[in-house]
Amino acid sequence: MDKEIVDVLVIGAGPSGCVSSAYLKKNNINVKVVEKTKFPRLVVGESLIPRVMDHFDEAGLFPALDKMGFEKKLGARFMRGNEVCIFDFSNKFGEGWDWTWQVPRADFDNTLAQEVINKGVDLEFETEVIGIEFNGNDSITTVKNKDGKTKEIHAKFVIDSSGYGRVLPRLLDLEKPSKLSPHSAIFAHVEDINREEGEEGTLISFDIIETEVWLWVIPFSNGNTSVGIVGPTEYIDRLSKNGDAAEALRKAISLSDYYVKRFGDVEFLFEPKHLKDYSCSVKKLYGDGFALTGNASEFLDPVFSSGMAFATEGGMTAAKLAIRQLNGEKVDWQTEFADYILYGVNVFTTYVKEWYTGNLQELFFHQPENPDVKRKICAVLAGYVWNKKNTFVRIHDTAVVNLANFIKTEKEKA
Ligand code: FAD
């Protein structure tokens, strides 16, 4: 069997793998990426949050993305009937980027991958990991290309960024069910022929249909828009009689008083995708010679668009630590990787859970708004979930629920 030797092998060329590999290459590490599919490929996850910009910038990927003219996302609108709550990232607590993009992922990820190749990374498409053996920190990964030919890749470190491919969680028995209750989604892209002129047409919006059910509307600069419905799995299953995803999504759109006119009669550009029970977790985030990043590790929920931010945060953090380890330093992966990533995951877990209990919706739609609370929650929604100066980060587990209970009590008294 053919054999290759590298310092770091990255599995998967999604945003996580691209950030990792670009940063490793920038630091003169001999890195190789293997990607199962041929790009461009369709993937969900189109609304970014500002924290990702730090990673694209640091990895040297920002200029190539910026040239593409993706739709700028300056904040997000949440709607519940006639109530509206708009977050503006320039009005957030603390430091950080004020904007990001809303993107068709096929084009966005393809731009990322091509830029990684331009930077000299050896990225092999249509090459799938089918097995791996660890011997201390060293590893031998078996990959198979589209012609069925296999080869071995010897690496001193492996970063698994394989998304829902979940290569190492499957091969090393690291799968763990998510703590979140089962939710599912159906989405498609539409040619947005009824799009309004100006900000209304391009504003990213989340329309609440019921406390646990919401519709996403993510307009792209190419004139198309992503429309998706999210809810408890049994609710999404009930939307169509025989599992017809297109029928289910049409029904969901008809439930939105605000968007039914814009999307009620438009055609789907592809057969809507049904993503069932999308949350996932792992028993551990690292081991001797490997780290798990992005959706190959934990995925929570789409409601606050945190998936890509964790994918790039994990990719960047793993790359930095792998460099130190390759340079002979002893790295404390528990503290510097697992505990660090899980701190952010735990903050977002609170916000996701409190969204679906309805508590966070109480805060979002409460009038009059409290500007201090809003700025702090806005920083969380921008992905700055490691800034412990922010009380809505530091005491996330009590801050949201206590404030929501206070609002509810005041409402009852009134
Ligand atoms: P991916 O982007 O999935 O890339 C993984 C790559 O690994 C793929 O290209 C795959 O082909 C490759 N691969 C798989 N198996 C193998 C193998 N055996 N060998 C080699 N390569 C392999 N996130 C957001 O930030 N914003 C959103 O609005 C958002 N909406 C979402 C909506 C839903 C319904 C769901 C389920 C998720 C959403 N997400 C969102 C999450 C987002 O999709 C992911 O967090 C993000 O794509 C993760 O990036 P990644 O690089 O980890 O994985």
Stretch(es) of the chain classified as CATH 3.50.50.60: 2-73+102-177+279-344
Residue 398 clears pLDDT 90, i.e. is over it: yes
Atom 2 of ligand 1: nearest residue by CA position: 14
- Phi/psi zone of residue 243: left (φ > 0), alpha (ψ -120 to 50 degrees), beta? left
Distance CA 77, CA 84 (A): 7
Mutate to test the pocket of ligand 1, among 9, 23, 37, 44 (most ligand atoms within 8 A of CB): 44
For 86, residues 6+ apart whose C-beta sits below 8 A from its C-beta are: 75, 76, 77, 78
In the chain, the amino acid numbered 236 is I
| CB-based pocket (< 6 A), ligand 1 | 11-17, 34-37, 43-48, 128-129, 161-165, 167, 185, 275, 278, 294-296, 299, 302, 305, 307-308, 311
* Predicted complex: ipTM over 0.95: yes
Distance CA 55, CA 218 (A): 22
Distance CA 161, CA 167 (A): 8
For 109, residues 6+ apart whose C-beta sits below 8 A from its C-beta are: 13, 14, 15, 18, 39, 40, 41, 43
Residue 1 is predicted with a pLDDT of: 85
Yes or no: say if 26 and 59 are a contact pair by the CB < 8 Å rule: yes
Which atom, in ligand 1's list, is nearest to the CA of 308?
25
The topology (CATH level 3) of 183-275 is D-Amino Acid Oxidase; Chain A, domain 2 (3.30.9)
User: What is the assigned CATH class of domain 2-73+102-177+279-344?
Assistant: alpha beta
Q: Supply the pTM of this predicted model.
A: 0.97
Residue 241 is predicted with a pLDDT of: 83
> pLDDT for 68-100, tens place per residue?
999 999 999 999 999 999 999 999 999 999 999
Stretch(es) of the chain classified as CATH 3.30.9.100: 183-275
